[in-house]
A and B are shown apart, each in its own frame.
Chain A
Amino acid sequence: EAGVAQSPRYKIIEKRQSVAFWCNPISGHATLYWYQQILGQGPKLLIQFQNNGVVDDSQLPKDRFSAERLKGVDSTLKIQPAKLEDSAVYLCASSSWTSGYNEQFFGPGTRLTVL
């Protein structure tokens, strides 16, 4: 079974530029999550999708971040315009019900550096 795929793996941009990250979840996983992991910290949830609907985006900085999951499969996370503090690893995860729990599987992440 293929895992969660993310691209690109690395991205370097100047502040105020725009950037987009792509995630392809495990086949059949209805739930998809985006996390932000700043260096030295644990991941922080940005947004959760159930199929193509948003379940939780309470920690998404909506003035600059946006995310979509068209057709309930792939997802894109966008930052516009980027700030220095957006430098982080962006992790995508997808989940399925296993033994009564929605087990999350993580992708390799995209490391963003904002200069």
Chain B
Amino acid sequence: AQTVTQSQPEMSVQEAETVTLSCTYDTSESDYYLFWYKQPPSRQMILVIRQEAYKQQNATENRFSVNFQKAAKSFSLKISDSQLGDAAMYFCAYVYSGGGADGLTFGKGTHLIIQP
């Protein structure tokens, strides 16, 4: 079974600074997707960024970028120029891309606090 581990229950960063959230995963598959989701206090889960395992290039979306290390099964999220609106729970998630069942496997989440 696949597992996703987020070892940082909570992280704090000053506004405008850079923060990195860590995620490791375990799978025996070679074809999969990895995601970072943001869940603000209102609870609506929002996709932040996606990485296809077959792509060597790290995904980037504006201020958000990932460091994908496939051999190490590591998938960290870097948020540059942190803003107050970035405060939320962040979840790392995995899905195998080779079958019809594609429910996400989530980590326990990291609570990100932005200090003004």
Q: Do A and B bind each other?
A: yes
Chain A interface (Cβ < 8 Å from any Cβ of B): 3, 31, 33, 35, 40-45, 48, 50, 55-56, 89, 91, 93, 95, 101-104, 106-109, 111
Residue of A nearest to B6 (CB): A42
Chain A residues within 8 Å of B104, by CB: 35, 43, 45, 104
Chain B residues within 8 Å of A45, by CB: 103-105
Contact (Cβ within 8 A) B4 A48: no
Chain B residues within 8 Å of A41, by CB: 108-109
Q: Choose among A42, A107, A108 the residue that contacts B4 (Cβ–Cβ < 8 A).
A: A42
Chain B interface (Cβ < 8 Å from any Cβ of A): 4, 33, 42-47, 50, 52, 91, 93, 97, 100-109
Contact (Cβ within 8 A) A108 B42: yes
A48–B5 alpha-carbon span in the complex (Å): 23
Contact (Cβ within 8 A) B44 A42: no
A93–B44 alpha-carbon span in the complex (Å): 10
Besides A89-B43, A101-B52, 16 other CB < 8 A contacts? Answer: A35-B104, A41-B108, A42-B108, A42-B109, A56-B101, A93-B45, A101-B97, A103-B47, A103-B50, A104-B104, A106-B45, A106-B46, A107-B44, A108-B43, A108-B44, A111-B43
Chain B residues within 8 Å of A48, by CB: 101-103
Q: What does DSSP make chain A's interface, helix, strand, loop or mixed? A: strand
A101–B96 alpha-carbon span in the complex (Å): 11
Contact (Cβ within 8 A) A55 B100: yes
A100–B101 alpha-carbon span in the complex (Å): 15
Chain A residues within 8 Å of B44, by CB: 3, 106-109
Contact (Cβ within 8 A) A42 B91: yes
Closest chain-A Cβ to B62's Cβ sits at a distance in Å of: 17
